[in-house]
Structure 1
Amino acid sequence: MSDPRHLVLWPVLAQIGLTFGLYVWLSAMRLLAVRRGEVEFGCFEFGRDEPAPIARITRNLSNQFELPVIVFACVALLVALDRVTWVDVAAAWLFFAGRVIHTAVQTLTDDVRLRGRVFVINVLGCAILVAHLCLVALGH
């Protein structure tokens, strides 16, 4: 059977891939909007007057540097301390799945209520990792 210390890295790498994918998508959408004459490049300096579809991608990309950072830190510490469990692997995948769903809802719809419900998946995955790290810190 595979080592959970290695397997927990895959959802982290997938999250990094999602972030890079959002950069590519955002860049393509911005370039397309400029080429169509919908906006000028200057509107992207501060995010003012961005077309709504682009603004949603911009905001979602920004979200990738919020809660995921806590997950990255927890995974890194659990790996470094050699305390990764199968629960951590499942929690990391749960978190990533939630990020994918959250990204789809935030970038493709304007349904803020659904986005909030989906965010609970992310919080749950992150909370499990944080709870385990707290137990490790307490000597358990």
Structure 2
Amino acid sequence: MSHPLIIPMAAQVALAAFLYVLLTVARAPKIWGIGRRSDGSNPWAAVEPRISANLSNQFEWPLFFYAACLILMQSAPGNLALPLAWVFVAGRVLHSLVQILTTNIRLRGLVFTINFLAVLGLWALIVLHSLN
């Protein structure tokens, strides 16, 4: 039987995979000429760097999420681990939307705080469990 934390972990992987696809589409006009405007420009040129930056972000703080989930899967995570994992994933989706679709750095920082606190909560569960 699989562990319930596998599903939010898979959702986070799916987000990263989606961002790879989105980045490929955004780069297609420049690299393959597919989807270029009639003047030869890339309609995705303004958003492509933000997609790329967001994809890079998926290999920073989320690593602490994966590590926490793997540790919690080996111990008794309690009732809070799964909701915290889903808060993290929802926060990452929201963070991706804000980073890709806007240039509002304040809002992006605020949204990142959701992810940050959720992972800190997962690690707090690990520490509390290890003290018992």
Identity score, percent:
40
How far does residue 89 in structure 1 lie from its aligned partner after superposition? 0.2
TM-score by length of 2: 0.87
CA distance in 2 between counterparts of 1:84 and 1:13 reads 18
The amino acid that maps onto 1:74 is: A
CA distance in 2 between counterparts of 1:91 and 1:15 reads 13
- Structure 2 gaps, min length 5: none
Contact 2:91 2:115 (8 Å CA) reproduced: yes
Q: Aligned with 1:52: secondary structure? A: coil
**Equivalenced residues, count:** 125
2:56 corresponds in structure 1 to: 62
CA distance in 2 between counterparts of 1:85 and 1:38 reads 53
The amino acid that maps onto 2:25 is: A
The answer to which of 129-138 and 97-106 deviates more is 129-138
CA distance in 2 between counterparts of 1:64 and 1:92 reads 15
| Matching of residues 33-52 of structure 1 within 5 Å | 33-34=30-31, 35=33, 36=36, 37-38=40-41, 51-52=45-46
The amino acid that maps onto 2:26 is: M
Q: More helix per residue: 1 or 2?
A: 1
Contact 2:16 2:55 (8 Å CA) reproduced: yes
| Matching of residues 77-88 of structure 1 within 5 Å | 77-81=71-75, 83-88=76-81
CA RMSD, aligned part only?
1.8
TM-score by length of 1: 0.82
Give yes or no for the alignment of 1:21 onto 2:10.
no
The amino acid that maps onto 2:56 is: S
The amino acid that maps onto 2:88 is: F
| Matching of residues 1-140 of structure 1 within 5 Å | 6-34=3-31, 35=33, 36=36, 37-38=40-41, 51-81=45-75, 83-138=76-131, 140=132
